[in-house]
Structure formats: structure tokens, C-alpha cells
Amino acid sequence: MKKNILKTLIGLLFFSGLSAQVGIGTSNPSASAVLELSSTNKGFLMNTVSLVSTSSASPLSAHTEGIWVYNTVTAGTAPNNVIPGLYYNDGSKWVLMSINSDIPKIGDIKSSMTNADHNGWYLLNGRSASALSESARINAASLGYTTALPNTADRIIKGKNASEAMAATGGTNSYSLSQANLPNLTLTGTTSTDGAHSHTYTNRGVNYWNYNAGSLATTRTVNTETRTTGSAGDHSHTFSVPSGGTNTPLALYPKHMVVQYFIYLGK
């Protein structure tokens, strides 16, 4: 085997000394190419390496502009993480070669009508980090999720403000008003006419009686007299202003469509 490789190298060196072009699988390489490969049933196998991150030259000793490699691992911390794929070096970092400008990054979140993990996307269902694959667990830890993924079930995603932590939860699906939430107003009311009443007394008509003063006897008559009744009829009224409420909380759900949320943790 070593002899065959040596013979091939010697042949290539000899051929390259005679011509500026090298052809493998062809005797007529293109004049515009330094090296031309030709085959109808074989491909070009790129050298494979395990990159550490886009910013690190490892496993090479230094960044060298123009070098191509095929990375076979998922490694690094976003935004310098790497995923399996073809990379070229621009002299200062590794750049993933892809015709898809929408290639996901570790930590990207998307909504989907799919219910299961797929292509490096993991359902945000609060699962334990130990249930993830090794590479996904490493990438989840790089985002701060060392024990479990966030759970987006029955939640609406909102943007982070200056004081909030990533993946913090809050809010409620309903709200009950307190007295402080009510308008400041004065309630008035009226009562119905009631409490009217009467008192009765006995009218004795004309009163006669005998009056004696010494030897003088006479009869006196009283035709009119003033009568008063005892104090009666004192009472009070009460009234109520019913709210008609049943303490039912206000629902805060806006109109919505149900989907699933996924986070990208790499393939």
C-alpha cells in the first residue's frame, strides 16, 4: 500500500513538472485548473476534523486563509459554536459554508405545528437536561439551562426588558379587581314612601258633672277638650346598592392560535 502511494506521488510530481495542470481520472485537465478530478461514480472526500469553535484554529496550529475542512462535531459556545458541515478559514476564523442563509444558531427559538423534536430543534416542554443528547445538553448548558429546558406550555413569549432574566416567567391567565381598581365615586339612593300610620283615641262627646260649692249646687259642661297621644311611630330606613357580581375573574387571553415552541440545540 505504501509503495502504491509513493508511486502515485512520484507520478504526480513528475507530471506536474511537465505540465501546470494535474488531472486525476482524466488525461486532459482543464487549462484553467491546477488540479482536476474526474469520475462518473465517485466523489471527492474532504479531510474531516473536529473543530472546537469558529474562533479557535484547533486542531490546526494557526488560522490559515483558504483552508477547507469538513467538521464532524458540534462544539463551542454561541455565537462561536460549530456544527457538522463544510468550513473554510478566512485567516481569522472558521466560516460555515452554506447556501441557506437561514441556518439556525444555538439558542434560536421557533414556533411550529410539529409536536416532536426534529433536526436539532427541541420542544420547550420543561424536560430535564439529563434527558437530552450529550451534544444538546452541552449546548443547553451554554445557554444557562443546566437542569431543565424552559416550559412554554400555555405561555405567550414576550421580549426581555432591562431587569428581567432570560427564560423568566410571569403573568397570569386571569385577573380579579380589588377595591383599589374601582372608580372613585359616591353612591346615592332613595327609599320608597312607607312608614305612614295613624293613632286612635276615644271621643267621649259632651261631659257633664255636678259641682258643689258650699250650699250651691250646679252642673258643669265641657264640650271641647284637647287630647294628645303618646310619642309613637319612631322608625328608621335602610337601603342597599347590590353589585350583582359573582367574583368571576377577568380572562386575559387575547385571540390566538395554538402552536409549539422549539429551541435549536444542534444536530
pLDDT digits 0-9 by tens, 180-207: 887 887 777 666 666 666 666 665 556 6
d(CA 36, CA 88): 20
Mean pLDDT of 130-138: 92
For residue 109, what are the β-bridge partners? 263
| pLDDT for res 46 | 86
| pLDDT for res 114 | 92
Q: Is residue 174 part of a domain?
A: no
pLDDT digits 0-9 by tens, 200-253: 666 555 666 666 666 666 666 665 555 656 566 666 677 777 767 777 888 877
- Look up residue 196 and give its three cell numbers: 305612614
Last residue of a domain, one of 65, 96, 127: 96
Domain hosting 150: range is: 104-158+255-267
CATH number, domain with residue 266: 3.90.1340
Q: Is residue 195 part of a domain?
A: no
Judge if 262 and 153 occupy the same domain: yes
d(CA 126, CA 145): 10
Q: Is residue 169 part of a domain?
A: no
Last residue of a domain, one of 77, 96, 115: 96
Judge if 114 and 85 occupy the same domain: no
Half-sphere exposure of 104 (CA within 13 A, CB side): 16
Judge if 74 and 127 occupy the same domain: no
Residue 49 has pLDDT above 60, yes or no: yes
Q: Of 219, 200, 202, nearest to 211 (Cα)?
A: 219
Q: Is residue 146 part of a domain?
A: yes
Average pLDDT, the chain: 81
How many domains does the chain fold into?
2
Last residue of a domain, one of 78, 96, 114: 96
Judge if 150 and 260 occupy the same domain: yes
| pLDDT for res 224 | 56
Burial of 253 per CB tally in 10 Å (0-12, 13-18, 19+): exposed
| Amino acid at the residue 75 | A
State pTM to two decimals. 0.49
* CB distance 124 to 151 below 8 Å: yes
pLDDT digits 0-9 by tens, 31-43: 888 888 888 898 8
Judge if 261 and 149 occupy the same domain: yes
